[in-house]
Structure 1
């Protein structure tokens, strides 16, 4: 990328500015900009990620400055109120002065700022906007999955191609969305060529040829050892010798297409090193159902022993919404352990390692709370981006690659994730009779006779009911005759001998806890 300034300090040349949620598109944009310089001298393409603004206020200042001098401005994937509120005034101020502004896949306030040729989404209702509403259909929540929506998106430009006049700018808006969602190096370069050739004020650059959007599978599989990295054929995936279990991995399609996959590769390698067969699948539209139904549930029954989501989002939805009821229905049918792991987007790995609070409020909501509403367990950070300082959070002491905005694996956390997943998969393979189950009873405040108490709840009757059901399900349970016998077995026994609130089964030293818990030994 180039960022040259003239004597006045104002950037020279022609500037395309991309404002988006995260930096995964920075790599394709940088590579495309370098190739485009031969045809468009003094072109610069700047990518600004809203996810960086919270921890790095200077990044927001730079984004606003870029918008103020941008010639073509593309804004996408901005849904969070604080991001929209921070950047909206700058976009409104620049809208009339730039050659084109496109808001796609974003909050309505961002989309309405779209101005591309004759397409002005702030203008009073026109024939073009009425056509858009008819083509778009109802604005109410839809039961369609991401795959069916993408089919519609590919169909609309083909229909609009034959409608003359202002509809051609509406077609261009849909094409920009299609280019972006198919965000490979090829599509990003073609999108930039398309926007420049159609809307640039420099006459010599107008009407340059741009290839149509290249289609990629909406639902498919990824593996770093595949010749083309992607396939739709599950039999093409490498399989380790004598795998101990099979794990379904859910990936973000956008990261696969943009070739920002070092973090996914590290997870796949670690899982395979632990004897796990992995099925790394992706689906477009932030709806994981087609990938799960297509690759994790075979015609002969379940094909996986556990599922791990590396998307950082809920199963059905993304930063804009969450359909937990659909996810719950899916998981009930799936009936395997489900673990959620996430890559950091709103801070670097180094910032996270040094932060007293760990994840911030937005990350806690998007990456932890929403997946847990679906039924996800064991939330785990497994990747993120590096700042210039790298990350000193563990023994690996990872260093940042110069000027890289690509995702980086957190190897210490990935090792832990692989261990958790292996244990969960093996546990599912066991018969209930062979499983060891620990039940933790509430006991706060400590040393105050509070063990097994809870406001308005009969803890021991609930525990008795739980044990009864477990015995019926095949667990090896020595069931007390009555609730009173259960209470006495827990609270009495040798409690007075040890001066404790409950019967003591074993005394575990701190050394034994560390010795038997691998992450603590590090």
Structure 2
């Protein structure tokens, strides 16, 4: 998000500084053409396509003439080491730079990038959490056979979006979260991502009974054609431990709400609870306990997701040194809320109880249900009519009666 700092990036003839006119430099035209082939043509998927290009771009750029293209290849290779993370990759990144630009006699040749998938599912009980499932469907097939809550079909299933970086650095909170959710009767589907592709995971690799019922009826409006039904897991809720907007993640945080309509469309298609339960990423437990959540974190981790349609927020923990730790009672609270949201979602509308709160201050002076320039009674009539049409039991009487 530090755009000024990013603009100082420079490798040989390739740099990210804007032109004197203010226009972005960008890669050479031939590289732009190659880059356009990755990912879908959707605006919200551009960052995902860029991450795909990172993996094969350096190999393709070997065949593109020109020094700028080769310097861009070096940049992509360096970024590939950095993006994969881990001590061995960072060490090789510096060795690669020394070799590519002859900065000093080579100490040792750089090792190939040690890769962790950009996306995958994990569970601490599956090979020690060191190996991953490629798709949520593969994960659920294993879980039904060997998962701790196997044989409990009524247990709510919740997708849990995790930072891939936290998986690579083996943050202890991931196992703690998975184990405690299971202890509270919720089946977790932990999915790690880089952060920018959360919307593609929810859109393409998660499905719901509501969505599948619509597909069975031939109702495809709002359902993405990129939905990968065979690879998707059917879930009852989505929990994001990432925060930030659903579309773009941290990369989209500079323009909060810009893709909110896209996110709303995705979530409406799934029609299940979307809960944000991000641990504090730049605040330690002591300051959280003493001062509450800092303003910036409150916005990017919790408020921005609400623009997308998040209906609940539960901060789970914070930093202790360089590690993220969870507060067990917060995880218990999260699991309880998920269970109740799912139970409410499963309950027939006629059995649900809905409270309507009306403004009424000051009391006794005819202020009940007032609102500036709004017809509250008429709005209530419309609300009750829609509730009755959706199957809610409003008692005996005219559907339009307030």
Task: Find the residue that maps to 2:250 and give its secondary structure.
Answer: coil
CA separation of 1:433 and 1:117: change in aligned 2, threshold 3 A: same
Change (3 A) 1:192 1:133: same
CA distance in 1, matches of 2:262, 2:331: 29
* Residue 110 of structure 2 is aligned to residue 210 of structure 1: yes
Q: Pick closer, same or farther for the CA change 1:449–1:225 going to 2, 3 Å.
A: farther
Contact preservation (8 Å) 2:241, 2:278: yes
Paired residue secondary structure (2:314): strand
Q: Which runs of 5+ in 2 are unaligned?
A: 209-228
Q: Does 1:340 align with 2:276?
A: yes
Counterparts of 1:427 and 1:314, CA distance in 2: 26
Q: SS of 1:385's equivalent?
A: strand
Look up the match of 2:31.
135
Q: What is residue 152 of structure 1 aligned with on the other side? A: 53
Task: Call closer, same or farther: CA 1:426–1:183 in 2, change over 3 Å.
Answer: same
**Which of 158, 164, 170 is equivalent to 1:247?**
158
Residue 141 of structure 1: how far off its partner (Å): 8.7
Change (3 A) 1:176 1:479: farther
- Residues of 2 paired with 1:439 and 1:239: CA distance? 40
Greater relative contact order (Cα 8 A, min sep 6): structure 1 or 2? 2
Bigger-Rg structure (1/2): 1
What's the CA shift for 1:251?
Answer: 1.3
Contact 1:194 1:210 in 2 (8 A): yes
Residues 382 and 409 of structure 1 are in contact (CA less than 8 Å); yes or no, is this contact kept in structure 2? yes
Residue correspondence of structure 1 range 375-386 to structure 2 within 5 A = 375-386=309-320
- What's the CA shift for 1:302? 7.2
- CA deviation vs aligned residue, 1:156-208 (integer Å, no higher than 9, x gap): 2112224464543322211122222222444333223323444585x34x262
Across the aligned residues of Structure 1 and Structure 2, the Cα RMSD in angstroms comes to: 3.1
Shift of 1:344: 1.1
Equivalent of 1:427 in 335, 344, 351: 344
Aligned to 1:223: 123
> Separation in 1 of the partners of 2:94 and 2:317?
29
Cα distance between partner residues in 1 of 2:382 and 2:390: 12
For 1:338-382, what per-residue CA distance to the aligned partner results, in whole angstroms no more than 9, with x for missing partners?
A: 111112123212111111xx3333222211221011000111211
Distance 1:474 1:482, change over 3 A: closer
Matched, 1:451 2:372: no
SS at match of 1:251: strand
* Structure 1 unaligned spans of 5+: 1-78, 85-106, 387-403, 487-522
Give the Å deviation of 1:328: 0.8
Aligned with 1:225: secondary structure?
A: coil
CA distance in 2, matches of 1:171, 1:158: 8
- Residue 465 of structure 1 aligns to a residue whose secondary structure is helix
Shift of the 429–454 alpha-carbon distance from structure 1 to 2, 3 Å rule, reads same
1:444 shift after superposition: 4.0
Q: Normalization by structure 2: what TM-score?
A: 0.78
User: Is the contact between residue 250 and residue 309 of structure 1 (CA under 8 Å) also seen in structure 2?
Assistant: yes
Equivalent position to 1:236, from 142, 145, 164: 142
State the partner residue of 2:394: 477
Q: Deviations over 1:395-446 (max 9, x none)?
A: xxxxxxxxx4011112221111111111111111111122222222233456
Cα deviations across residues 210-263 of structure 1 (Å, max 9, x unaligned)? 123234323321222221242212223425141521111111222222222x22
Task: Summarize deviations over 1:49-98 as a string: whole Å, max 9, x none.
Answer: xxxxxxxxxxxxxxxxxxxxxxxxxxxxxx1xxxx4xxxxxxxxxxxxxx
Match of 1:313 among 244, 251, 271: 244
CA spacing shift, 1:181–1:465, aligned 2, 3 Å: same
TM-score after normalising by structure 1: 0.61
Following the alignment from structure 1 to structure 2, what is the Cα–Cα distance between the partners of residues 448 and 349?
Answer: 48
Matched, 1:177 2:79: yes
Are the counterparts in 1 of residues 184 and 332 from structure 2 also a CA contact under 8 Å? no
